Structure 1
Amino acid sequence: MASTPQERRAARHHQPVSDASPKRGRRAKPITVDAIIEVALDIVAREGYPALTMRRVATALDTGSASLYAHVVNKEDLDELLIGRLCAEIDLPEPDPATWRAQITGVCAQVRDQYLRYPGISRAALAAAPTNNDTLRLAECMLALLLAGGVAPQSAAWGMDALSLYINSYTLEISLLDRSGGEWAVSRDDMLQRLADLPDTFPHTKRHAAELTAGTDHERFDFTIDLILDGLTRRS
């Protein structure tokens, strides 16, 4: 008896998926989980995550949507597979108590850069629980690095979650701005002028306009990662 979609998903989390044998017909290559993932990532890289649908993937593979469901349970399952693939490509260090902070900062930067390559894909990361081996591999490493730094287990667990949420929201914000074509973007000079023109009921905003508008995106990213790590080490 054929397995249910849920059983196929569970099996895929515990063992590799073998490629199906090629079938006769116009398709030169068989449809596999890896092929679906590659096509889906290509769509996101070129058009952004909102363009990704099961129908869109099926069209790119020159097949019907129904053919995909022999390999992928649904769109949510595909999202989980995509995030797992990106996590699998992260270079994870062996935890070192002497350099743990630089190590986890580097891991966070790698995840950030992966998500920025695929605009909007952090929406999938926000919705996907880390239940497959590839996403759990990343979570395991981040937890181990925090523990190596002397962070208490409960703080390390919640701290890992805070870091992941920040990376996801940071990359999503950038993708939304890029998708708008900069229509709502304001230059720093324009922003400084707007703040300078505020009424005196905003004294702190006017006085510290330079600080409020300073820094590049990644400088702010590094600052926030450091801020989270500072808080975790102080708690411990």
Structure 2
Amino acid sequence: MPVWFEEERPRRPRLSRERITEAAVALLDAEGVGGLSMRRLAARLDCGTMSIYEYVASKEDLLDLALDAALGEIDLAEAAGPTWRDTLTRLMSRSRQVMRRHPWIPALLGTRPLLGPQALARSERVYAVLNEAGLTGPQLLGAVGALSSYVNGFVLTELSWRSRHRDPAGESDLRHRAAEHIARHADRYPVLTRHARLDMDDFEEGFLLGLNVVLDGIETQLNQ
């Protein structure tokens, strides 16, 4: 049974589900999903492993609680803008910032039931913004899915790239050599030669460019 369907029972004050969740988030930030275990979490909390099981039933519950707590860092009030596009741009940008702060989030988003209060509040906000703009039914579902898939996929790629290419000079050299390689084979890759920006290393710019394309598509649906 998902942890969200259960009521937390009163326990001894030394531990709490909230404190355990905070420690789990910190451990995930430091070690990633593969580094999360009840034993390591107990060591961080300076308690026995069995003490944790008085508050959560399994590691799966810990992942759900930690993910929901991290998603709560996406500030809904600060994301409010004058138009639906402004609001969604701010929401998606803040989502990216939180995912970059907690690099384990993207890998969990597609595998966890997003039923926690923080996740549901943010889903409600995205649905509400698009619904108020005029989308309903399959168009609304498609728009939400397109936004989520774009942001999650972009950040996952960004994190993977940054984990492998930490040296700016080395990255610049790789991009330069890749551009030269394509240019040498312009007969095979004429469009890439003319239009691909392999020297573009600004992920912020790239993120907003792609997001605007997704939002343009949504706006087209609104104007039909």
**TM, length-normalised to structure 2:** 0.82
Q: Secondary structure at the match of 2:54?
A: coil
**After the TM superposition, which of the residue ranges 144-153 and 62-71 deviates more from structure 2?**
62-71
Q: Which runs of structure 2 are paired with 1:66-145 in the superposition (5 Å)?
A: 66-93=50-77, 99-145=83-129
**After the TM superposition, which of the residue ranges 72-81 and 101-110 deviates more from structure 2?**
72-81
What runs of 5+ residues in structure 1 fail to find an aligned partner? 1-5, 23-29
Deviation at 1:57? 1.1
State the AA in 2 paired with 1:220: G
Q: Corresponding residue for 1:39?
A: 23
Pick from 189, 210, 215 the counterpart of residue 224 of structure 1. 210
Q: Secondary structure at the match of 2:113?
A: coil
Deviation at 1:171? 2.4
What runs of 5+ residues in structure 2 fail to find an aligned partner? none
Deviation at 1:21? 1.9
Q: Secondary structure at the match of 1:187?
A: helix
Deviation at 1:182? 3.1
The superposition leaves residues 62-121 of structure 1 with CA deviations (integer Å, 9 ceiling, x where unpaired) of: 234333222223222222212211232322249989511101111111111111111222
Q: Structure 2 vs 1, CA of residues 215 and 195 (structure 1 numbering), >3 Å: closer, same or farther?
A: closer
Is the Cα–Cα contact under 8 Å of residues 17 and 56 in structure 2 kept in the other structure? Answer: yes
Instruction: Find the aligned partners of 1:127 and 1:193 in 2 and give their Cα distance.
Output: 37
Residue 10 (1) aligns with residue 10 (2): no
Identity score, percent: 27
Instruction: Find the aligned partners of 1:87 and 1:175 in 2 and give their Cα distance.
Output: 17
State the AA in 2 paired with 1:204: V
Q: Corresponding residue for 2:158?
A: 174
Deviation at 1:39? 0.8
Is the Cα–Cα contact under 8 Å of residues 4 and 116 in structure 2 kept in the other structure? Answer: no
Deviation at 1:8? 5.7
Pick from 165, 179, 200 the counterpart of residue 214 of structure 1. 200
Deviation at 1:150? 2.0
Deviation at 1:19? 5.4
Count, aligned residues = 219
